[in-house]
Amino acid sequence: MPARRTTPKSYQRARELRKEPTPAEAKLWAYLRNDQLGVNFRRQHAIGNYIPDFCCIKKKLIIELDGSQHLDQAEYDTERTKYFESLGYKVIRFWNNDAMKDINGVIQVIQAALENQK
């Protein structure tokens, strides 16, 4: 039997997070869902002990939207990013404000990252 990618507790937390997205997550998800960028994204997809906001497994790309709480948790975010990178993922981060005010710019950066991923 293959190893699980996360714990039952993380699966449950991911389900809870999917039910209550932030406004920025909801806005970005409207552009990522249903393969609109040519690849499948998952929302709040648990990987290990972490739950990234958006994950494209095929392209090994993780997208994180950061709010003001991330100003106080830079060390934790660095640890998460290192963990994802150790699994072969590329992590790109945007401020919630960017998603709300410049969604087209955010999408362009994501499209460029997708083109550069294997």
Listed as ranges, residues in the chain with pLDDT below 70 are 1-5, 68-72, 118
Rounded to whole angstroms, the Cα distance separating 34 from 56 reads: 12
Predicted local distance difference test score (pLDDT) of residue 102: 97
Predicted local distance difference test score (pLDDT) of residue 71: 59
Within 10 A of 58 (CB to CB), how many other CB atoms are there? 13
Predicted local distance difference test score (pLDDT) of residue 31: 97
Predicted local distance difference test score (pLDDT) of residue 72: 67
Residues 6+ away with beta carbon under 8 Å from 95: 65, 66, 67
Rounded to whole angstroms, the Cα distance separating 87 from 34 reads: 25
pLDDT digits (tens, 9 = 90+) for 62-95: 999 988 665 567 888 899 999 999 999 999 999 9
Domains and CATH numbers, the chain: 8-116 (3.40.960.10)
Predicted local distance difference test score (pLDDT) of residue 2: 47
Predicted local distance difference test score (pLDDT) of residue 3: 52
pTM here? 0.86
Within 10 A of 6 (CB to CB), how many other CB atoms are there? 16
Predicted local distance difference test score (pLDDT) of residue 1: 44
